[in-house]
Amino acid sequence: MHIENDLNLKRQADKLGVSIWRTPSFLFIIIGIVNAVAMAVTYYISKQYDRPEFLVVAESVVVACIFSIGKYIIGQFEEIDALSKMKTEFVSVASHQLRTPLSAIRWETELMLSKLDRGLNKKQRKSISTINLLATRMTRLVNDLLDVTRIDQGRLILKKEKVDIARIVTEISGEFLPLIKEKKMKVIFQSVRKCKTDRCKPFGVLSDQEKLKLVVENLFSNAIKYTGAYGLIEIDLSKKRGFVVFSIRDNGVGIPKEQQVQVFSKFFRSDNIVKYQTEGTGLGLYIAKNIIEQSGGRMWFHSREHTGSIFSFSLPAA
């Protein structure tokens, strides 16, 4: 499968936005051919002429050729790298610029809904609520894009603080309660007791609290989004060899086997969920995995189409 992908020069060229003869695989094929020809020519010369000068000249020509092609290949890589850095920089700047007007739209619409509530008729209230909802969604996308550019540029800074995952799970499940009720779903907390008091069993980890919330929120929201009404979600927390392991299982649509290798890639959305028209960007799991790995943990999953999925991560226990 990998070899097939590597040899699909057209797809590689489209993906990198360069012409076919500038793709890394094409350049590697060329250097392979040059090497083979060079060896054959050297062998032929050494057979034909027994004077060492001929061999030295032939070898020098071959070395000069390989050096020039190598230099060209490195140049192409540098160009592709510079292009990709420019794109990342553009996304970063555009996202930063979009944040301020979006915040203003959200604040203004929230203010209108709360202060002018009595003066608004039903239609006006509905329109303002829609604007507010769309601005909130857009803010989420912009924040995701900013996180992705930070990850790609190696600028994602994470705090190392003691965080209780059990508390985060309880908080997030509270946020999703209206949605869970609406879809008449059942959520089982295997070993997470409701943390209404400070006496609940803690599962302390070393991580960045805000970013960890984002991870749990993403996995929870996916489990709800990709599971039908009356579905079942099970959440479990355990301690294993110095790590706290979190898992969330659902009996939803699952991920097609052939697409599972792409799950943690940027912008991936599986074919089977497109028909459900669920909202999403395909950035959540990419960001989540990077946050977990940068915090010293691991993230993995098992899924079967039409049966369900289980997403898990581990983090060093505090």
Interaction site with ligand ADP (CB under 6 A): 218, 222-223, 226, 250, 252-255, 263, 268-270, 273, 280-286, 309
Residue 172 tokens read as 């997030």
Residue 162 CA to residue 156 CA, distance in Å, equals 19
Contact 149/95 with Cβ under 8 angstroms?
yes
d(CA 73, CA 77): 6
Pair type for strands 232-240 and 186-189: parallel
Amino acid in the structure at residue 274: V
Q: How far is the CB of 260 from ligand ADP (least distance, A)?
A: 9
Under 8 Å between Cβ of 55 and 49 = yes
**Between the CA of residue 42 and those of 61, 63, 70, 71, 190, what are the distances in Å?**
10, 11, 19, 22, 70
For the bound state, the minimum distance from the C-beta of residue 217 to ligand ADP, rounded and expressed in Å, comes to: 10
Shortest reach from residue 65's CB to ligand ADP, in Å: 46
Closest to ligand ADP by CB, 252 or 297:
252
Nearest approach, Cβ of residue 204 and ligand ADP (Å) = 26
For 142, the token pair is 């912009």
Decide whether 12 or 173 has the Cβ nearer to ligand ADP.
173
User: Is-contact 203 249, C-beta < 8 A?
Assistant: no
Task: Between 238 and 281, name the residue whose CB sits nearer to ligand ADP.
Answer: 281
Q: How far is the CB of 79 from ligand ADP (least distance, A)?
A: 30
Q: Considering beta carbons, is residue 12 or 227 the nearer one to ligand ADP?
A: 227
Q: Are 314 and 298 in contact (CB under 8 A)?
A: yes
DSSP, collapsed to helix, strand or coil, labels residue 207 as strand
Least separation in angstroms between residue 61's CB and ligand ADP is 52
The residue (of 12 and 251) whose beta carbon lies closer to ligand ADP is 251
DSSP-derived secondary structure letter, 201: P
Going by C-alpha positions, the residue among 281, 267, 291 that lies closest to residue 212 is 291
Please report, as a single letter, which amino acid is at residue 20: I
Nearer residue to ligand ADP within complex by CB, 80 or 310: 310
Minimum gap (Å) between residue 202 Cβ and ligand ADP:
26
Residue 26 or residue 286: which is nearer to ligand ADP going by CB?
286
